[in-house]
Structure 1
Amino acid sequence: MQVRVLGCSGAIAKDCRTTSFLVDSDLLVDAGTGVGDLTLDEMSAIDDVVLTHSHLDHVAALPLMLDAIASRRTRPLRVHALRATIEALRAHIFNNVIWPDFASIPSRESPFVSFHEVVIGQQLQLGTQAPKQIEVLPAVHTVPACGYAVRCAQGKGHWVFSGDTERNAPFWARVNQLEVAMLVIETAFSNREQALAQRSRHLSPATLADELAQIAPGRSYPIYITHTKPAETEEIMSQIDNIADGSLISSGGKQAWDIRWLQAAEVLQV
């Protein structure tokens, strides 16, 4: 299974695109501004989109992508998300004011997009070209949110994405039961902005350290840092460097991790 990083920034700037991942060629995980780097053919090949939550940096490209490829598709693009996320999309984007309601165009019987509600803990089987199993994981954010664990239907190791989240014990309880090939986890703010991170339900390096301390003993896999704010990325990653040898862990003793900064255009092989 291949995961192509279309965008992994916490905001836009030159060469910074917001969250979106293309899994193989047919599954999109979040639809931030990074989707705009796909060709029309690549966008047209996507059959399913799974969304973590409704914030703009994770959904901004969805209405624009639909407009670009609707006439090239013979079946609706399937969008899977929590009920609250779908309700937000319908009320605030696909409302015929901000953007046309593609769920009723050209008709409600044959729309360009269909919405499918998911719940935490649900397992989905998606993928027409390469079947994949996707589990919906819990997240703690300012709006209802989730993460995802994705694996090839015939494989074992999961690509795990935290989504936007703050401290999240249920997430680790489930992740420790999975065979994890790699983890993508957000750290949006530096320790200097820790109060803002907590208020906006994001991680900072200090809280990231406490979260990683919940990884079960003996577990080891690459950990990719995503969603850093462009103005703070250097500071955030410098502080995270201190985590790699366990020096910032406040409990449970020291443990070394393989921590890497995720970058747009990377291709991860799972």
Structure 2
Amino acid sequence: MKLTVLGCSGGIGDRHARTTSLLADDDILIDCGTGVGDLPLAALLRIGHVFVTHAHLDHIACLPLLIEAVGELRARPLTVHATPETIAILRAHIFNWHIWPDFSALPDRAAPYLRFAPIAEGEGRDLGGRTITALPVRHTVPAVGYRLDSGAGQLVFSGDTAYCAELVAAINACPALRHLIIEAAFPDEQRDLAAASRHLCPSLLQTLLAELTVSPEIHVSHLKPGGAARIMAQIGAGGGRLRPRQLRQGQVLEF
């Protein structure tokens, strides 16, 4: 499989800052942040599945616009995979006819533009021999990470999370793990803020990485614009067996 980073920033405010959106091959999105907006219509039409980690705006900002752009051009509904709790949030606060139309009922419920597919923690979906499995994480709203398995290799994306022992165990249970994309949203001087908002900072990330028994390449995402260099410097100064690198928009990971 091939994963293309459409966006991995923790916010906007820079020419290259696009929020979280990862394109697996050319037909699966992991989250649907502002990076999706850079894709041409032909590329948007090839997307058949969106796996949402959680309902925070930086991870779903382009989801309503994606469905509006391609809905009537598709032969089948766009399938959005998310936990039941996240689907309930999307229905109540986005696709509620006030913020955006309910495309799961348009043009009619028998043949909608959007289909929600609930996925439970630990559950996997097979898409043409590619398996995507929801993993446990810890955030301020219901959330999951995802493991992508090509059959030849694996990639784990944490989404937004604080330290989570269950996530560590899930990562260590991946014998063919090539890549781990994991967040670090705040510098260490904002450790209390990171803990309160259930994100990682460099010292918390190093604690998590020290417990890994696998040896994937580590890619750090969700860095706040203006703070990326400081966060990465603190991560580098922490040492450890693994050597994390900053994830970059446009980067392609194969596994």
Does residue 145 of structure 1 match 2:140? no
Does residue 264 of structure 1 match 2:249? yes
Does residue 166 of structure 1 match 2:162? yes
Alignment of 1:92-241 (within 5 A): 92-127=93-128, 131-152=129-150, 155-178=151-174, 179-216=176-213, 219-241=214-236
- Give the fraction of aligned pairs with identical amino acids, expressed as a percent: 46
Match of 1:6 in 2: 6
Q: Deviations over 1:28-79 (max 9, x none)?
A: 0000000001110111101111000010000010000111111210100000
Measured in 2, the distance between the counterparts of 1:61 and 1:206 equals 32
Measured in 1, the distance between the counterparts of 2:246 and 2:157 equals 14
Give me the TM-score of the superposition, normalised by structure 1. 0.92
Does residue 54 of structure 1 match 2:47? no
Query: Contact conserved, 1:221 with 1:258, CA < 8 A, in 2?
Result: no
List alignment gaps of at least 5 residues for structure 2. none
Equivalences, count = 253
Q: CA deviation at 1:92?
A: 0.5
Alignment of 1:78-97 (within 5 A): 78-97=79-98
- Is the partner of 1:170 in helix, strand or coil? helix
Q: Which amino acid aligns with 1:233?
A: A
Q: Which amino acid aligns with 1:11?
A: G
Match of 1:63 in 2: 64
Q: CA deviation at 1:93?
A: 0.6
Q: CA deviation at 1:268?
A: 1.0
Q: Deviations over 1:131-163 (max 9, x none)?
A: 3101110010000100000011xx232110011
Q: Deviations over 1:182-222 (max 9, x none)?
A: 10000000001111100000000010010001101xx3221
Match of 2:73 in 1: 72
Query: Contact conserved, 2:104 with 2:114, CA < 8 A, in 1?
Result: yes
Measured in 1, the distance between the counterparts of 2:77 and 2:215 equals 40
Measured in 2, the distance between the counterparts of 1:68 and 1:20 equals 17
- Is the partner of 1:42 in helix, strand or coil? helix
Q: CA deviation at 1:231?
A: 2.0
Measured in 2, the distance between the counterparts of 1:237 and 1:49 equals 29
- Is the partner of 1:34 in helix, strand or coil? helix
- Is the partner of 1:116 in helix, strand or coil? strand
Moved over 2 A (4+): none
Measured in 2, the distance between the counterparts of 1:59 and 1:259 equals 26
Measured in 2, the distance between the counterparts of 1:73 and 1:142 equals 35
Query: Contact conserved, 1:48 with 1:126, CA < 8 A, in 2?
Result: no
